[in-house]
Structure 1
Amino acid sequence: LFHLSQVSAWGGYVFIINLIPLHVFVLLLMQRYSRRVYIAYSTFYIVGLILSMQIPFVGFQPIRTSEHMAAAGVFALLQAYAFLQYLRDRLTKQEFQTLFFLGVSLAAGTVFLSVIYLTYTGYIAPWSGRFYSLWDTGYAKIHIPIIASVSEHQPTTWVSFFFDLHILVCTFPAGLWFCIKNINDERVFVALYAISAVYFAGVMVRLMLTLTPVVCMLSAIAFSNVFERYLGDDMKRENPPIEDSSDEDDKRNPGNLYDKAGKVRKHVSEQEKTEEGLGPNIKNIVTMLMLMLLMMFAVHCTWVTSNAYSSPSVVLASYNHDGTRNILDDFREAYYWLRQNTDEHARVMSWWDYGYQIAGMANRTTLVDNNTWNNSHIALVGKAMSSNESAAYEIMRSLDVDYVLIIFGGVIGYSGDDINKFLWMVRIAEGEHPKDIRESDYFTPQGEFRVDKAGSPTLLNCLMYKMSYYRFGEMQLDFRTPPGFDRTRNAEIGNKDIKFKHLEEAFTSEHWLVRIYKVKQLDNRETLDHKPRVTNIVPKQKYLSKKTSKRKRGYIKNKLILKKGKRPNRKTV
């Protein structure tokens, strides 16, 4: 039932379904096979397999994917091993050894070849790219950039280990040593879990989730052993051990002045030393140190929980020099504007990080969201962001985009904006459209990614750059920096005269963190370029006025002249 809940709620159940078979396989190698192991694993595999296949999303994956073949292989190997153990009582030692090696080798070879054949014929799906990225940290960046672009998939730094685990980083190895020192079947599982979880947590930040349970458990074992060592002497003194019978005889017969054979009488000083054990000062110092470490750990956990893991990602907070806190509510402000001022059927194009937020808080349709199963669609959005405005407009018209939403942190120094994510958009787009998008075009000849005047012309004219820095060149943040100074990149932008032909600014949040642009519709009539008519008529010379400064009277060209008529002669009349 626990396995069923894991399968239905968490995709990482594959880690569990591979860790348990690994535990059984190591027990077989350590010759710790027992009926208890056989019954437990056989029941778990059969019942867990049937229950997991009832989840619609999983379906037949437990029998048709390579990630689940280790569990099936160990199940077949365990059946063969149990059958050989059954024959052990019915064969001689020499016959059993020969049959054992042949049977185990034959079973392992059959399982291995069967998996290879079924994978080659297509019945079993090969290893996925996400699985390869766990063993080769550079695989995802080359072959599946959509996986490598997620910040949670980056390798874990030592700072992250100490930030999440604090003092447990030091006590965890001690607890593991205590488990290995007194090994049994259960502690073999704990040791395997700890070693594998440490490796996977170092590969990806998000897999710290699988490491923390075993770290807490082994650190508790370490603290428990320390406290038992330094606080257990008092309990022993309350219940002293049974004295030797020879000592009782000496007390009953004080006249016995000779020691018995094989017995060495202890001096008084040695007896006092053994009774004292560890000094009370040492015990008190060690106990106080352990309690102080636990108190520091509790305070650190409370602070991390309240500051790092309790604040929502859509509401940001900053602190002034006097300790007062500023709340940056730009995300909710922008989503509320989308909900209130756009048509309910409007389609919003943004990077996939904000898909779920737009759908949930703004109630608008997005092209891509956090369900990154459609890599080609995400690559098309990345191509639009990486192209110039005209090429991006054609893509947006083909996708019926009404609005474009971006995140810009140059005003407040927010490092998680789209400019810092832009290279991942280029890499994902290049994977699907290598002829149109090339990552090298967005770097300088020296191989630098710069947003100032020395930046690549392709970068300075792409849609993402223009939408981020539109009207930003007119803004001067303070008297120490020039207009258009990006606080996140610590550089003055190179293209300040940005104009749009197919987009128009629709909304910019208070701190410029969220910017929304509206995609213009096509005109009813195409605009024609008016060219001057070409005729064969030779133009006349341009008339030049003869008026000078001395001649104040004006002159009218082609002025009508009135001619006075002559009076008729009376004589002639």
Structure 2
Amino acid sequence: MKTKVYNILKKAASIRPAVSYSSMLKFTILSLIFVIAFSVRILPIRWGYYLSEYDPYYQYRQTKYIVENGLAGWLSWHDYLSWYPWGNIIRFHAYPGLPLLAATIYTILNALGLHFSIYPTLNPLQMDPIYNFCVIFPVIMGSITCIVMYFLGKDLGGEAVGILSALFLALDPSYIGRTSLGFFDDETVGIFSLLLFIFFFNRSISGESSESTNLKGTLFSAKTGWAVVAGLTLGYLCASWGASRYVVVMTALFAFILLVLRRTSQRLLVSYAVTFFIVISLVSCVPRLGSRFPLDYLDTRFNFEYDTLFVYLVFFLLLFNEIRRIKDRGKRAGCFLAVVTLLIIALLFLWRSGKLAPIGAKFMAVIYPSIRFKNMILLSVAEHRASSWGTFYYNFGIHTFLLLLGLYFATLMATNLSIFTIIYSLTSAFSASSMIRLNILMSAPVSLLSALGIVRLLKPFILSLRETKTPTSRKYKVRRTFGKETSIMVISLIFILLLLTYVIGTDFMISPNRGAGPRFRLQAYAPTTISSAGLSLRPLDTTKDWLNALTWIRLNTPPSPTKPGDNGTVIASWWDYGYWITAIANRTSLADNGTWNTTQIQQIGRMFMSNEEEAIKILKKYNVTHVLVFVVFQAVEASYGGFYPYLGGGGDESKWQWMAQIAFGPNEDEPFGNLTLGFDYVDVNNNRMYDRNDRIVANEKGQNTTLFKLMHYAVGTVVNGEPYAYVVLPGGKVSTIGRIHLEYFEKAYFSQEYGSITPAPGTRYVALVCLYRVDYPSK
């Protein structure tokens, strides 16, 4: 019996798949990289389990809607909780890619019995399993993307390049910032799809199959399958992320450069054509991209933007290049004539029918950075501002220089993938310098080329360390290119430089108590925006002013109108807080972070920067029931034992300039105060800047604005117990504002109360969310 059992086990062992030591080692290393990426990105959980920033709340609402109503429901969704009274036709202002993927994965996992309910809580959102899934989704996707980076790096320069590039991406500060806990936004799937597309497209054009002796053989070769998958991936990317047009144009530029370098083939033409045929077919089904896609495919119409015309131009150039190779002169001339005629007819049709659309302002600002100064709303968004070259070093550390080394080695390699990577790195560097948000585009090429540079630089030194002298004969004696001491010194130097970036950090000259440290840790170990109450700092614990205020609104105000004309709660605030109001408070807002209705944002800015008489007219126009203001101040100790408020820290007291400039025009904030809202300084020294010797005077126009009154009424009430306000101005001077009288507004809710003011833990900053009820005059 024992022998029989032994024989059975022996046979079972013989059919066991053989796993080599190198495969096990590689699997272990990739698993460790995944764990590192996951662990770093989940660090914000120290401040609570919340979505971060603002846009993720919009994406969450869409995901929930698709789970509950399906894609057809999303396509017909007219959301009246935002941009009241017009509402928001979601399909024209949102990309379906991220919420559709998240809803699909959630539905599958839920069907398999994997639920995302957490401990009982009073937070209305954390009781929703869809919300809990959306919070962890970016952490998982960011970690998986690092594995995709391994395969791309492996194709570029081998196993070592793949492993190092995956590790570098896992610890890249810019990428961590966009894939950390709660950052449920387009970039979550954007970089993942981008890297996957490059991997597939490179596979589709690399090498030539034995079947590719003619066009038919090339079209039906196995590599066309890679082109199909590349097209599907890029199509999904276009349906998910606005930056996809950068990838589209970059791919066309890559094909054009191959054409200039005379590296084209039928394989490139077929892969390019198949990929973009699929992309265009998918993009035509995305309403936001201009296809006017209601519910049936027959009504689909295309709009072509000027930047995408380059894609078609490159296709025709590749086609001309293949026609040029036809040996029969008559046949070649006929093909040329047919293609040119078709091209002219297509351009004339597009031009005359008005199908050619200009590039959007946000994307033009990347190409021409100076255009942002003409668009105040674009300029008011911090992540849309230009970044300095010093920012690159601050973000990437030693990788800034390793990138240049990698570019050198990639140029020497001159493979299709190395050329694509060079184009990717150079164009992403330009984009990142134009718009600081696009630093994330640089994360992948910096990781790839840094890994390539290190591996190619250290390879001869490592080989030199492995070599041994053979004492047998001169014939077989190995001569080292470098001595052992030199090899050890160079390898140690690279290790120390990496140590400076990942252990000490790029701001090592700053005192440790000011938060210096490795950039990836500072980026990862930071609270979500709402758990820090929107403050531009890192408190020691959760700051619940916004969470408490929005929960109070959700539970204590009447429901919002289901359609224009109905009674219900309508809240006016600056556009920054719109997504929070609709998603967390479940109440109607006038504007949100989509910023697509410039006119309405101008009206809100005009309301805040006008006196109460003018403001009430604007509010009546939109049937507003409540006005929300957010103000941040520091508690500065006073000689009498109390304290004075020093306004500043990221609230509306820091945003009023944009309200004025958006409402009235560029530089129109100065009439409301050239020092701060409600105060002017007299330049005694004529040095064109404020200093302690200058005199401060009240600015009547600024102090009469609705925003000034609402902010200081609240601050005075919570600091002094009555709306009698003092304020500390720049330079430490204290100014008495006096009693604030509100004509048409009354307190509904303040997140702080007199006698129990609670600064953010570990700071002196107080976040104050103020909700006022609008009291319209009888006439």
> Shorter-chain-normalised TM-score: which range?
0.7 to 0.9
1:466, 1:489 → 2: CA distance? 23
Corresponding position of 1:329: 544
CA contact (8 A) 1:451 1:491 kept: no
Q: Paired residue for 1:457, among 682, 700, 704?
A: 700
CA contact (8 A) 2:727 2:737 kept: no
CA contact (8 A) 2:750 2:769 kept: yes
TM-score (norm 2): 0.55
SS of 2:571's equivalent? strand
Shift of 1:516: 1.5
CA contact (8 A) 2:364 2:371 kept: yes
1:378, 1:109 → 2: CA distance? 47
Q: Does 1:292 align with 2:496?
A: yes
1:108, 1:372 → 2: CA distance? 42
Q: Paired residue for 2:751, among 503, 506, 509?
A: 509
Shift of 1:450: 5.2
Shift of 1:58: 3.0
AA matched with 1:68:
T
Q: Paired residue for 1:164, among 395, 409, 416?
A: 395
Change (3 A) 1:278 1:295: same
Q: Paired residue for 1:441, among 666, 671, 694?
A: 671
SS of 1:285's equivalent? helix
CA contact (8 A) 1:402 1:518 kept: yes
Shift of 1:131: 2.9
CA contact (8 A) 2:725 2:739 kept: no
Shift of 1:507: 2.1
2:552, 2:533 → 1: CA distance? 21
Change (3 A) 1:155 1:438: closer
Structure of greater Rg: 1
1:439, 1:467 → 2: CA distance? 18
CA contact (8 A) 1:65 1:127 kept: yes
Corresponding position of 2:481: 277
Corresponding position of 1:214: 445
Stretch of structure 1 that moved more, 284-293 or 3-12: 284-293
Q: Does 1:415 align with 2:638?
A: no
Kindly report the root-mean-square deviation, in angstroms, between the aligned alpha carbons of the 2 structures: 3.7
2:490, 2:452 → 1: CA distance? 16
- The within-5 A match list for 1:139-154 is 139-142=371-374, 144-154=375-385
Q: Paired residue for 2:594, among 371, 378, 392?
A: 371
Change (3 A) 1:42 1:512: closer
- The within-5 A match list for 1:44-443 is 44-58=275-289, 60=291, 63-86=303-326, 89-90=327-328, 115=347, 118-119=350-351, 121-142=353-374, 144-158=375-389, 160-237=391-468, 275-299=479-503, 304=519, 307-309=522-524, 310-316=526-532, 325-345=540-560, 346-411=569-634, 414-430=648-664, 438-439=668-669, 441-443=671-673
Q: Paired residue for 1:6, among 237, 247, 254?
A: 237
CA contact (8 A) 1:141 1:148 kept: yes
1:519, 1:277 → 2: CA distance? 81
SS of 2:746's equivalent? strand
Corresponding position of 1:554: none
CA contact (8 A) 1:403 1:519 kept: yes
CA contact (8 A) 1:379 1:428 kept: yes
SS of 2:591's equivalent? coil
Change (3 A) 1:520 1:159: farther
Larger % of helix: which? 2
C-alpha offsets along residues 142-188 of structure 1, whole Å, 9 cap, x if unaligned? 1x221111111011134542343222112111111111123232222
Corresponding position of 2:777: 522
AA matched with 1:226:
L
Q: Unaligned regions of 5+ residues in structure 2, if any?
A: 1-231, 292-300, 506-516, 561-568, 636-646, 680-695, 753-765
Corresponding position of 1:551: none
CA contact (8 A) 1:506 1:517 kept: yes
Q: Which of structures 1 and 2 has the larger relative contact order (alpha carbons within 8 angstroms, sep 6+)?
A: 2
Shift of 1:38: 1.3
Change (3 A) 1:229 1:70: same
TM-score (norm 1): 0.73
Corresponding position of 1:254: none
Corresponding position of 2:740: 498
Instruction: Using the aligned pairs only, state the percent identity.
Output: 23
Change (3 A) 1:305 1:490: farther
CA contact (8 A) 1:476 1:484 kept: no
2:750, 2:733 → 1: CA distance? 22
CA contact (8 A) 1:350 1:366 kept: yes
2:618, 2:668 → 1: CA distance? 18
CA contact (8 A) 1:145 1:427 kept: yes
C-alpha offsets along residues 164-215 of structure 1, whole Å, 9 cap, x if unaligned? 3222112111111111123232222111111110000001111111111111
Shift of 1:299: 4.1
1:52, 1:275 → 2: CA distance? 59
1:21, 1:327 → 2: CA distance? 47
Corresponding position of 1:29: 260
CA contact (8 A) 1:190 1:214 kept: yes
AA matched with 1:375:
T
Shift of 1:471: 5.4
Change (3 A) 1:141 1:283: same
Shift of 1:391: 0.3
SS of 2:369's equivalent? coil
C-alpha offsets along residues 420-450 of structure 1, whole Å, 9 cap, x if unaligned? 211211222226xx9xx95453354xxx555
1:109, 1:189 → 2: CA distance? 32
AA matched with 2:494:
M
C-alpha offsets along residues 387-417 of structure 1, whole Å, 9 cap, x if unaligned? 1111001111121111111111123665211
Stretch of structure 1 that moved more, 460-469 or 133-142: 133-142
Stretch of structure 1 that moved more, 45-54 or 384-393: 45-54
1:438, 1:207 → 2: CA distance? 30
C-alpha offsets along residues 554-573 of structure 1, whole Å, 9 cap, x if unaligned? xxxxxxxxxxxxxxxxxxxx
CA contact (8 A) 2:714 2:750 kept: no
1:201, 1:108 → 2: CA distance? 37
Change (3 A) 1:276 1:82: closer
SS of 1:484's equivalent? strand
1:492, 1:377 → 2: CA distance? 36
1:10, 1:521 → 2: CA distance? 43
Shift of 1:227: 2.1
CA contact (8 A) 2:385 2:434 kept: yes
CA contact (8 A) 2:572 2:589 kept: yes
Corresponding position of 1:268: none
Change (3 A) 1:331 1:324: closer
Corresponding position of 1:262: none
Q: Unaligned regions of 5+ residues in structure 1, if any?
A: 249-270, 527-573
Change (3 A) 1:304 1:69: same
Q: Give the number of equivalent residue pairs.
A: 473
Change (3 A) 1:157 1:120: farther
C-alpha offsets along residues 307-328 of structure 1, whole Å, 9 cap, x if unaligned? 4345210122899xxx992542
Change (3 A) 1:45 1:318: closer
